[in-house]
Amino acid sequence: MSKRYDVIIVGAGHNGLVCATYLALAGYSVLVVEANERVGGAAITREFAPGYSVSACAHLLFLLHPKIVADLSLERHGLKPAATDLHTVALAADGAHLTLTADAIDGNGVSTGDRAAYPLFLNKLRRFAGVLQKTFMTRPPRLAHKSMADLTALAKLGLSLRLLGRDDMRELLRIGAINIHDVLQETFENDLLKGAMGFDAVSGGNLGPRSPNTVLTCLYRLTGQLNSKGSGISIPAGGMGAVTGSLRAGAEAAGVEIVTGTPVKRILLDRDRATGVETSDGERISGAIVVSNADPKTTFMKLVGARNIETGFARRIDNIRMQGKAAKLHLALDGPPTFRGLEQTQLGQRLVIAPSLNYVERAFDCSKYGEYSNQPTMEINIPSVHDDSLAPKGKHVLSAIIQYAPYNLRAGWDAERAAFKQLIIDKLAEYAPGIEERIIASELLTPPDIEKEFNIHGGHWHHGECSPDQFMMLRPTPGAAQYATPVAGLYLCGAGSHPGGGVLGLAGRNASTEILKREKTP
Amino acid sequence: MTAPMTEPMIARAADKRVLPTPFHARASALCQTNCWSSWNAYTVVDLYSTLEDEYFAIRNATAAFDLTPMAKYRISGKDGLAYLDKLMTRKMGKLTPGRVMYAAWCNDRGHVLDDGTVFHLDKNHWRLCSQERHLDWLLATAMGFDVEIHDESAEVAGLAVQGPTSCRTLKAMNLEGIENLKPFQLRYFPFDDTELLVSRTGFTGDLGYELWIEPAHAEKLWDALFIAGKPHGILPNGGQALDMARIEAGFIQAGVEFVPAAELVRPDRGRSPFELGLGWLVHFDKPIFNGRRALLEEREKGSRYRFVRLDIDGNKPGNEAFIYNGKKEIVGHITSATWSPSAKMNIALASLKMPWGRPGDELYAEIYYNRELQWNRLMARCKVVNDAFFAPPRRRETPPRDY
């Protein structure tokens, strides 16, 4: 490895692998250095009990962009879905569940008005999400900058807003910066429906349904539907690790070298230029360009070092809001669980416990004061229903995102982890009586655990809140929002960059485009 | 009938807006004019007696100026020097213990936040002394360094003792060996059961010293100084006389020659070190310092402004005058101006748009003045002067002669 590379990529998350492959296809020699033993970052499948595997962080595929699937021939490299267009089941403790699809609600107790409003409302939001999505494939424009590309990008954004037409434009301006609670409240009656829809807007974020900006996060989430006829939510065969597995195969086919189990200790600098990386065992690898798939705080405060960047920029990086509030629960079950009132054929859908907006808001309230939710809200998924590679025959794995679990729990996670896990299981048992007797093994990953396992500062799996202060030209912060950074030759390609979190791959792709534009060809 | 207010009661009452300095009782006893100013939330004397007396005390005898309101920050820790090297545009490596360095610091845009002096007090201890307050920036810059930043502004009283007889005055105060202190050196002397820090620094461009002590000993220091200085013509001086002296010395002042970058509402109104005549303080051979990228770009693309010292025809001070070129276009303005009694010149500091201020450029100051309700306007020819207007060799003499 004493060789010199054109590009060294720190971190083999999905974005790192996407970026690596595009650059290798363009002729660069690319080395990807990954701290963990396997590639994938937060999109991995791993065993958590003998014989039981699960997508250990991200567990559903909402947003992976079809262009990336096509460009990188991921299907040829093994990517195939186990299930597509999952429905969302809004679970009710009494078993009167609602099933939500991209354009209809199935279930009892929903008024005619709600049924009629549902597709209209989603269509409207999808139109707005479309404006957002148009920006996803390009670098965000700088404000007040005279570059032609930036002016054009801003003009395009303005135009796509204009093309919404007067009524839609007014409506987007009206709801754009308010909260999802108020918007749902004025549109729908059914609490269960509103709870589940509100959950989507706050998933993975430090937000409750009444928090400002939750319409934006809702739209962000909906962009995934725009590439699909249905909900756009899928489960890859073999779990999320299969996505990054196919990315790895694609990368290696394109000539990318990948080393794993090799944490990068620091990014090497010659004055203000990145010249390579030093691994934790002291090896120095030189590269003309260094691309960081790590989150911006880890990249600058740890790998580059706060003292090696200018104070104003360091302060902006330090101020990035990225405290994780979501935990991950994994259960190994000795048989399929039974949810009250849920047909077994529905067991493989996306199950949500968010019985009302107030329920979710109260769950969030706890976290504001450094406590975990005493009534948590969650997204449950039992991938073994679709994929028998994850558990022994007849057995199952359950994967759930649990909110809210603040990174800085006041009492400390070591003292509280077991109690919180029990509380979650009890909550599950309210919906799935007897589930606790089926548990063979269990694992709870709190935000500090996520931070440690996936090397994400704050355990925030979006690499920073997706909110207007950290969006587009502000993501992660001005001065680094176009993938290039104040350190010459150092680029960002992770979810901390535009367009943001989710297993999307566009940050990696856009970063590669920017590198190809800015750096001399190999 | 209420009792008259005691001095501490007055201070508490004044606490809402301005604080008295530890020299307040002495200063107010000597202040004949009742001309006070608020400076960094302290009340300080603007003028004690007459401008002429105070100015000539600076240039011909000794003048004492209360500079306690200056912001003072203690920087401690093993990374102190590396920290200063990131903070300042200047290479700080030569700042050994016992030395003082003048430096300027910038934001990421390369605009000057302030200039000031750094005292290397002792191993792993430095003091930054500046016009403006910077705690927030200093703390933010400390990320990643093993340093502690402490605002000691209120814990250190300061007196500037400037003028040709200042050394004799301090000798008479029994500061043994003071005559051997070189410019930009500092030394501790025992005084009143405590330590008196003396640095050979100042804002007058003359022979002079700055004295730093704990506030509890401030009055005793003042008394000892004025007793020792009496035979050598010591007078207290206020802000007005100091301003004349610093303009003569050609020194820039925060808030006058430049708006400190942290206070800007319009970010492009800042000034880089190059635009303030401080290019000599910028050392690009350091791997990192705040503003480096922006200043490198400026060096390549050129600056927007030029700082100049002007000798203006006539004797009408050109405060705030526009500067015109030969084609009657406005090319800049004067930031500070005074009649210089020592240089016998009508002098000014100015900020000109590039490229104006080159040798041979014709420049005129548009000066308005009022004579008994009659306004007159004149276009006074200006000449760019390269150095300080007044720079007596005694400012560097070590030991200084007994003036």
For residue B145, the chain A residues in CB contact (below 8 A) are 307
Chain A CA closest to residue B79: A307
Q: Which two tokens stand for residue A45?
A: 């499948």
Q: Which two tokens stand for residue A275?
A: 């010249």
Is the Cβ–Cβ distance between B236 and B27 less than 8 Å? yes
The CATH code of the domain that includes B377 is 2.40.30.110
pLDDT, averaged across chain B: 95
Same domain, B60 and B188: yes
Same domain, B368 and B221: no
Is the Cβ–Cβ distance between A19 and A509 less than 8 Å? yes
Q: Which two tokens stand for residue A414?
A: 């070591």
Pairwise CA distance, residues A368 & B24, whole Å: 49
Question: Is position B112 within any domain?
Answer: no
Is the Cβ–Cβ distance between B234 and B48 less than 8 Å? no
Pairwise CA distance, residues B263 & B265, whole Å: 6
Pairwise CA distance, residues B199 & B219, whole Å: 19
**Residue from B149, B293, B296 whose CB has the most chain A CBs within 10 Å, to mutate:** B293
Question: Is position B147 within any domain?
Answer: no
For residue B83, the chain A residues in CB contact (below 8 A) are 307
What per-residue confidence (pLDDT) applies to B378? 95
For residue B141, the chain A residues in CB contact (below 8 A) are 311, 314
Q: Which two tokens stand for residue B84?
A: 């200063």
Question: Where does the pLDDT of residue B8 fall: very low under 50, low under 70, confident under 90, or very high at 90 and above?
Answer: low
Pairwise CA distance, residues A408 & A415, whole Å: 13
Is the Cβ–Cβ distance between A368 and A429 less than 8 Å? no
Is the pLDDT at B15 greater than 60? The verdict is no
For residue B293, the chain A residues in CB contact (below 8 A) are 272, 310, 486
Pairwise CA distance, residues A46 & A389, whole Å: 12
Is some CB atom of chain A closer than 8 A to the CB atom of B141? yes
Which H, E and C letters describe A245-292, residue by residue?
A: HHHHHHHHHCCCEEECCCCEEEEEEECCEEEEEEECCCCEEEEEEEEE
Is the pLDDT at B1 greater than 50? The verdict is no
Three-class SS of residue A81?
Answer: strand
Size of interface A-B (CB pairs under 8 A): 57
Q: In what order do the strands lie in the sheet with A98-100?
A: A105-107, A98-100, A88-90, A350-353, A377-381, A396-403, A326-333, A439-445
Q: Which two tokens stand for residue A114?
A: 């709600």
Is some CB atom of chain A closer than 8 A to the CB atom of B108? yes
Between B79, B140, B288, which is nearest A308 by CB?
Answer: B288
Q: Do A486 and B293 touch (CB under 8 A)?
A: yes
Relative to beta strand B71-76, strand B363-371 is unpaired
Is some CB atom of chain A closer than 8 A to the CB atom of B144? yes
Burial A178-202 (b: 16+ CB within 10 A, else e): ebbbebbeebbebbbbbbbbbbbbb
pLDDT tens, A438-494?
999 999 999 999 999 999 999 999 999 988 899 989 999 999 999 999 999 999 999
Is some CB atom of chain A closer than 8 A to the CB atom of B105? no
Helices (H), A32-98: 66-71
Burial of A246 (0-12, 13-18, 19+ CB in 10 A): buried
DSSP H helix total and E strand total for chain B: 9, 20
Same domain, B54 and B202: yes
What residues in chain A have their Cβ under 8 A from chain B's Cβ atoms? 269-272, 301, 305-315, 318, 479, 486
Q: Do A310 and B137 touch (CB under 8 A)?
A: no
B143–chain A nearest CA distance, Å: 6
CA proximity to B116, closest of B102, B137, B95, B99: B102
Question: Is position B271 within any domain?
Answer: no
Domain carrying residue B339: 305-388
What ipTM was estimated for this complex? Answer: 0.91
A467 CA to centre of own chain = 14
In the DSSP assignment, the letter for residue A298 is I
Between B144, B291, B292, which is nearest A307 by CB?
Answer: B144
Q: How many domains does chain B have?
A: 2
CB atoms within 10 A of CB A160: 15
What per-residue confidence (pLDDT) applies to A2? 61
A140–chain B nearest CA distance, Å: 21
Residue A515 sits at φ, ψ, to 5 deg, of -65, -45
Question: Is position B31 within any domain?
Answer: yes
Same domain, B202 and B310: no
Is some CB atom of chain A closer than 8 A to the CB atom of B137? yes
- The full set of domain ranges for chain A reads 5-42+64-75+239-321+457-518, 120-219
Is some CB atom of chain A closer than 8 A to the CB atom of B290? yes
Q: Which two tokens stand for residue A57?
A: 């962080």
Percentage of chain B beyond pLDDT 90 is 94
Q: Which two tokens stand for residue A435?
A: 């589930």
Q: Which two tokens stand for residue A393?
A: 């025959």
Query: Helices A180-187 and A214-222, interaxial angle, to 10°?
Result: 80
Residue ending a domain, among B237, B253, B283, is B237
Residue ending a domain, among B237, B267, B292, is B237
Residues 6+ apart with CB under 8 A from B154: B19, B215
Is the Cβ–Cβ distance between A214 and A13 less than 8 Å? no
Residues in chain A: 522
Chain A CA closest to residue B83: A307
Provide the residue type at A153 as one letter: A
What per-residue confidence (pLDDT) applies to A225? 85
Question: Is position B352 within any domain?
Answer: yes
A301–chain B nearest CA distance, Å: 8
Region B75-79: mean pLDDT is 98
A485–chain B nearest CA distance, Å: 12
For residue B79, the chain A residues in CB contact (below 8 A) are 307
Residue with tokens 């549902």: A118
A486–chain B nearest CA distance, Å: 8
Relative to beta strand A284-292, strand A490-492 is parallel
The CATH code of the domain that includes B61 is 3.30.1360.120
Between B82, B108, B287, which is nearest A312 by CB?
Answer: B108
Q: Do A310 and B108 touch (CB under 8 A)?
A: yes
CA proximity to A192, closest of A100, A121, A274, A257: A100
Q: What is the pLDDT along chain A (522 residues), one digit of tens a residue?
A: 467 999 999 999 999 999 999 999 999 999 999 999 999 999 999 999 999 999 999 999 987 888 999 999 999 999 999 999 999 999 999 999 999 999 999 999 999 999 999 999 999 999 999 998 888 888 888 887 778 888 888 888 888 888 999 999 999 999 988 999 999 999 999 999 999 999 999 999 999 999 999 999 999 989 888 888 888 899 999 999 999 999 999 999 999 999 999 999 999 999 889 999 999 999 999 999 999 999 999 999 999 999 999 999 999 999 999 999 999 999 999 999 999 999 999 999 999 999 999 999 999 999 999 999 999 999 999 999 999 999 999 999 999 999 999 999 999 999 999 999 999 999 999 999 999 999 999 999 999 999 999 999 999 999 999 888 999 899 999 999 999 999 999 999 999 999 988 888 999 999 999 999 998 766
Which H, E and C letters describe A455-493, residue by residue?
A: CCHHHCCCCCCCCHHHCHHHCCCCCCCECECCCECEEEC
Region B91-117: mean pLDDT is 97
Same domain, B163 and B56: yes
CB atoms within 10 A of CB A270: 12
Between B87, B141, B287, which is nearest A272 by CB?
Answer: B287
Q: Which fold has domain A5-42+64-75+239-321+457-518?
A: FAD/NAD(P)-binding domain (3.50.50)
Same domain, B167 and B34: yes
Residues in chain B: 403
Pairwise CA distance, residues B39 & A60, whole Å: 61
Helix H or strand E encompassing B187 = strand B186-191
In the DSSP assignment, the letter for residue A519 is S
Helices (H), B37-165: 51-60, 80-87, 135-141
**Residue from A143, A310, A315, A319 whose CB has the most chain B CBs within 10 Å, to mutate:** A310
Same domain, B211 and B349: no
Residues 6+ apart with CB under 8 A from B292: A272, A310, B89, B110, B284, B286
Calculated CA dihedral for residues B133, B137, B139, B140, nearest 10 degrees: 170
Q: Do B291 and A308 touch (CB under 8 A)?
A: no
Residue ending a domain, among B206, B237, B268, is B237
Burial of B85 (0-12, 13-18, 19+ CB in 10 A): buried
Pairwise CA distance, residues A508 & A493, whole Å: 5
Question: Is position B139 within any domain?
Answer: no
Strands (E), A80-232: 81-83, 88-90, 98-100, 105-107
pLDDT tens, B220-265?
999 999 999 999 999 999 999 999 999 999 999 999 999 999 999 9
Helix H or strand E encompassing A447 = helix A447-454
Chain A CA closest to residue B147: A307
Three-class SS of residue B313?
Answer: coil
- Cis amide prior to A406 (ω within 30 degrees): no
Is some CB atom of chain A closer than 8 A to the CB atom of B20? no
Is some CB atom of chain A closer than 8 A to the CB atom of B107? yes
B192–chain A nearest CA distance, Å: 41
Q: Which two tokens stand for residue A106?
A: 């199935």
Pairwise CA distance, residues B237 & A386, whole Å: 87
